Amino acid sequence: MPDVLLTEDDGKVRILRLNRPEKLNALNTELTRAVHDALLEADRDPKVRALVLAGNGRGFCAGADLSEFSHLIPDNPAAVLERADLTSRTQSQLRELSTPVVSVVQGHAVGGGAGLAIGADMTVVATDVRFGYPEMRHSIVPAVVMTGLQRQLGPKLAFELISLGRMLTAQEMLDLGLANRVAEPEQALEEGLEIARRWAEASPLAMAATKSLFHRVADLPYAEAMRAGRDVNVIMRGFRERR
C-alpha cells in the first residue's frame, strides 16, 4: 500500500506531498495524522530550514474524506472528538511551527484542503486552482477552517464563501491576498521551492523569531504589539550566528 504522504528533501528544504491522488488527496484520518506528524518532525529537525506542502496528482486536497463520516457517529463520541482534535491541531500547526511553510496548490483546494492552503505562511497557486468551502452543500459546518479564513478575508467575504460555497480562481485568490504567486501548473512547485530556498538561507533562529512575532503582533493591540517588537529587537542581535 503506498504511503499517504511523500517526503523529499531538497537541500535544507523538505517537501511534503499529500499522496491520495485517486481521492484528490482527501483528508482521511491516516493522511491527516501523517501531515500532523511530518510537520512536527520537520520542525524538530535542525537540517530542515523550510517546508513545502503540496499535493500529488490533479488536486491539492479535496478536504475531508466524507466516506469516513459514517464511522464518526454520535454513538462513538470518543472517535468524533479524537478526529476533531486532530483536524484542529493540524490546521493550526502551520502557523505555530518555527519553520516557515509555503503551500503549492493546484486543482481543487476545498474545505480542509483550502484551510491547509492558506494556513501556510505563503501560498503559490496554479492557474487551474479551484478554491472554496463547499461544506454547506453537504450540511456540514466548516467549523475548523472558519477562523483562519475570517482573519485573512474579513467577515463579509468570508461568510459569503462559507455560506454560499463560492469558488475562487487563482487570480481572485491573488487579488484578495490569499495567494502570493500564481504560476502555471507545471511551474508551481518550482515557484514554491524558490521561496523555500530563500527562507533556508536565513538564520533559523532569526526566522523562527520573525514568524513567531509576526503572528503574535497580529493578535495584540497596537501598543502591546510595539512592546513585543521592541523586546525582540533587543535580543535579535544575538542571532548573528553562522548559517
In contact, 181 and 125? CB cutoff 8 Å? yes
Which residues belong to the active site? 135
Specify the amino acid at residue 9.
D
Alpha carbons 176 and 168: distance in angstroms, whole number:
10
The CA distances from residue 192 to 56, 209, 231, in Å, are 14, 22, 32
Give the number of other CB atoms < 10 A from CB of residue 84: 13
Tell me the three-class secondary structure of 201-230, residue by residue. Answer: CCCHHHHHHHHHHHHHHHCCCHHHHHHHHH
Cell numbers representing residue 33 in the block: 495524522
